[in-house]
Amino acid sequence: MAILVTPQTKVLIQGITGSFGARHAQLSLSYGTQVVAGVTPGKGGQTFRHESFEVPIFDTIAEAVKATGATASAVFVPPPFAADAILEGVDAGLDLVVAITEGIPVVDMVRARHAMRGSKTRLIGPNCPGVVTPGEGPDSKGGCRIGISPGYIHRKGNIGVVSRSGTLTYEAVWQLTCRGVGQSTCVGIGGDPVNGTSHLDVIKMFMADPETHGIIMIGEIGGSAEEEAAAWIKEHGTKPVAGFIAGATAPPGRRMGHAGAIISGGKGTAEAKITAFREAGIGIATTPSDMADTLLKMM
């Protein structure tokens, strides 16, 4: 069943004619993702070609949705224009917008989140690796890959992965795959302070998904999202969860890697998050190399 996306999801790519968007459009097509449209203002009527694939390009998302039935998008748009690109997807009624762009001004995201209130669109990101639901084929091909995650490291199975860190998402997935354990869906929610989907949102979806039997949740210093997810798991969790918190040695007040990874006012520390995990019965991986084994021992 998976969450958020399936092999049948029709995807459009905003910024498909840029070098970064084009590269990952090619990788998604090769993976088997149903990339049905590209959107670049001023380039409507052109075609994006890769191997045997021909993807029509439209000037607007509304045109692309009307012509192709796309329900999800990947945003590969430069930071100054990315928030508007997200809202264009919202206005077009997309079910899912995955914003890969890093460096979107925080004020732009605050305005975008406010404008999204009451809409049906779910936003993943920004500054995230995206979403992968593995397929049945070799190297998990035939699934749905939206974003920049390397598809070949995935394997279809029953473990859900949710993470703020892209690199640690890949690490957890690869550890599982190397142990012969597949994934239902892998979700990189991004490390920005203002994002669209939280750990808790994804944890609730995994708990409700009958094909997800266990969960790896990866957090980092800054904010309170991990503690909120842990509190919910303590009260409502029905499946084993293993967790890892990055940034335990970060000095207070210094941003570490992600815009949201900053400790201030005594909040958002690794110690507080690890304590919340322990109290919720979440298995704690002491190092990144222990993430898969921690969950598998619990199971």
Beta strands in 40-82 (DSSP E): 47-50, 53-58, 72-75
* Residue 236 structure tokens: 């409502």
* Residue 181 structure tokens: 């354990």
* Residue 144 structure tokens: 């749905």
Say how far apart CA 262 and CA 298 lie, in whole Å.
Answer: 31
Say how far apart CA 3 and CA 208 lie, in whole Å.
Answer: 9
- H or E element, residue 12: strand 10-14
* Residue 97 structure tokens: 């917008």
Which has the closest alpha carbon to 295: 284, 234, 32, 258? 284
Specify the amino acid at residue 82: A
Q: Per the residue annotation, which of 24, 154, 199, 258 is the catalytic one?
A: 258
3-class SS string, 141-185? CCCEEEECCCHHHCCEEEEEEEECCHHHHHHHHHHHHHCCCCEEE
Name every residue whose Cβ is closer than 8 Å to that of residue 241 and which is 6 or more positions away in sequence.
203, 214, 215, 216, 217, 233, 280, 281, 282, 283, 295
Look up 258 and say whether it is catalytic: yes
Residue 76 has a CB neighbour count (10 Å cut-off) of 28
Tell me the catalytic residues. Answer: 258
